[in-house]
A = this chain, B = another copy of it.
Amino acid sequence: MTCRMPFSSPAGTRSALTIRLSHYLPLTASEAAAIEAAQGPRRKLIAGEALLDAGGPVDSLFVVQQGWLHSSVRPPVGGRQILSFHYPGDLVDNSSIAWARAPTTLTAVSDCIVSDISKKQLGALLAQHGRIAGLLYAVAAAEAMAMADRLTSIGRMNAIQRLATLILDMLARLRVTAGGVVDSFDLPLTQTDLGDALGLTKVHVNRTMREMEERGMIARNGRRIRICDEAALVGFTGFVDRHATIATDWLPPPR
């Protein structure tokens, strides 16, 4: 249970969500202020810590300020499936807004800082700022399409293509907040995690990464992973970047 503080973040510091949304659409001062005001106090999580357990009650969503998380489920059969990863600037756990109990487990992959947004606050934000409602709707749609891409890769591609697609997607998403061209990043996931995200066993993930490295597709150095020939991977998988741009021309004018 978190209590709401009179201020939600250090004065003058914009939340990662505001920054990310600004990336797609210049926000008015009033819109930015409303987004900041909706967010609760910041909380630290250490790597591996669960922010929320599937089946537990929820009355808020979360904003990732720093670090990575993932959402996962544990079907009665089949171990675990990681559904998506959450990066700085993400509004996390949209799925749980439809129910009183969380459908997924949220786990910190690295050390994180998150804020919560109560559902009621989000409802008020959507009602008061129609343009933000539309933008959040579009961002959620883009994330749904990114999940559809993973569904496609798991349903129709082999292990190398699945892994390549996931790496490209992470890279694309990190570029939105990192800015500039990035060709390598720290992957705070174990091979077990990767397997659970890709519908593979950790053993097969290992062999697959090894093969990709041998083929010169990627280079590894500890947790650091570098994409050697991005264009080749894109051609190989048909990857489409779902994060770089979001259409905003259909949005109503700001209020």
Q: Which residues in A have some Cβ–Cβ distance to B below 8 Å?
A: 59, 73, 75-81, 83-84, 94-100, 103-104, 118-120, 122-124, 126-128, 130-131, 133-134, 136-145, 147-148, 150-157, 161, 198-199, 235-238, 240, 242, 245-247, 249-252, 255
Contact = CB atoms under 8 A, between A and B. Distances in A.
Contacts of A103: 145, 148, 240, 242
Contact of A156 (B79, B136, B153): B79
Given A147-B147, A151-B147, A156-B199, A124 B252 contact: yes
Majority SS at the chain A contact face: helix
A127 B138 contact: no
5 contacts: A77-B161, A95-B145, A99-B246, A133-B133, A147-B148
Contact of A81 (B98, B156, B236): B156
B98 A199 contact: no
A126 to B, nearest CB: 5
Contacts of A238: 75-77
A133 B140 contact: no
Contact of A137 (B77, B137, B145): B137
Nearest to A139: B98
A1 B251 CA distance: 21
Given A77-B156, A137-B137, 9 more contacts: A76-B238, A77-B236, A81-B152, A83-B148, A95-B142, A123-B251, A124-B252, A126-B133, A154-B199
Given A124-B252, A127-B131, A148-B147, A156 B94 contact: no
Ranked nearest first, the 8 interchain pairs of A and B with the lowest CB-CB distance are A127-B130, A155-B199, A78-B156, A119-B250, A76-B238, A81-B152, A127-B252, A98-B142
